[in-house]
Amino acid sequence: MHPAPPLPSNTAYVPFVSVANMMRLVHDIGLDVMLHELAHYIEEDFRRWPEFDKSARVASHSEVGVIELMPTSDGDTYGFKYVNGHPKNTQDGLQTVTAFGLLANVATGYPELLTEMTVLTAIRTAATSALVAKYLAPAGADTMALIGNGAQSEFQAIAMNVLCGITNVRLYDTDPRATTKLARNLEDQGLTINCCHSAHDALEGAQIITTCTADKQFSTILTDNMVGSGVHINAIGGDCPGKTELHRDILLRSDVFVEYPPQTRVEGELQQMPSDFPVTEIWQVMSGTRPGRVSDRQITLFDGVGFAIEDFSALRYIRDRIDGKPYVERLDMLADPDDPRDLYGMLQRAAPIASCGS
């Protein structure tokens, strides 16, 4: 048998960022800088919200979790993210959330970027939370309660520090090992860290309250009597049907801000409320068409479930920031025959050459 001839160079290469190289990129840029820059990209895209295609994410639910596709386009560029959410995974040593994403040119349909998004989603979620808090948190806020100390928690604490000036964090998780892990990882961030024995204890003196728990169930992490006036609640753990964290009476006392109402009403804290419960879309606040925080006693609540435009912003940011990085890989994902109509001919020229003696 004769060996196969070398493959022709009939391929168009697509930049690919692996997990290892995403981590390398974060270290090259610096997490603090990356959070600032990514928040700017998200804010830019939220301010041009009407330009985007918008739909609730396409979800495949099971008893143990969800697998989702999150697509959007601004007419020039198309992006999507594949992401799962399986809270029980940690019991088997697996991540609750894994993700990858793609950016493509609308004019040709050709991909421009393929990247891991497990690490990137953690960073964009934290950047979004802190960006929203800049608009909604009380002036001079310096203390955050962080209830739920899992994989997202470090990113949340650091983002609130670098974007909003939070200097004190009060930590609580039903698993003390998670709190110990978080406190250890935040030791060098210049934060005052308080490990608390209950959610009620964690809320003491906090102007920003972040809830970020993982269990897929209707939970009551915060009861109405725990929440005083004037706080900002960053509720990011209720992110799929059948999963909430707040007592519904808290929503009745709050001004609720969301990303995309048709998605949030199905997946967020809003699934507890009637379909006409009033909300403000956060893009309207960022574009100056609707008010955000208007009084010192107002309770603002960001019912954040994550939306495709945030992932689009993150993909756009990575595409811009990897330019010239020598460690970015190239994948031959796209066939590129000399004659675009002769894909079969390209295949044949790459096939092994058969002979009578083989």
Per-residue burial over 73-87, b = 16 or more CB atoms within 10 Å of its CB, e = otherwise: bbeebbbbbebbbbb
- Dist. CA 115–CA 113, nearest whole Å: 6
- Dist. CA 208–CA 219, nearest whole Å: 20
- Residue 54 vs residues 72, 121, 138, 160, 342: alpha-carbon distances, Å: 6, 19, 30, 28, 36
Return the residue matching tokens 């991540």: 95
239 classed as catalytic:
yes
Residue type, 157: A
Strands (E), 93-203: 99-105, 111-116, 143-147, 168-172, 192-195
Per-residue burial over 227-243, b = 16 or more CB atoms within 10 Å of its CB, e = otherwise: beebbbbbbbbbbbeeb
The H or E element spanning position 177 is: helix 176-185
DSSP label of 226:
G
Please tell me the chain's helix, strand, coil percentages from 3-state DSSP, rounded to the nearest 5: 35, 25, 40
Which two tokens mark 224? 């109405």
Active-site residue identified among 239, 255, 303, 311 = 239
SS3 assignment, position 68: strand
Residue pair 146/169 in contact by the 8 Å Cβ criterion: yes
Count of residues for the chain? 358
List 143's β-bridge partners, or say none: 168
Active site residues: 239
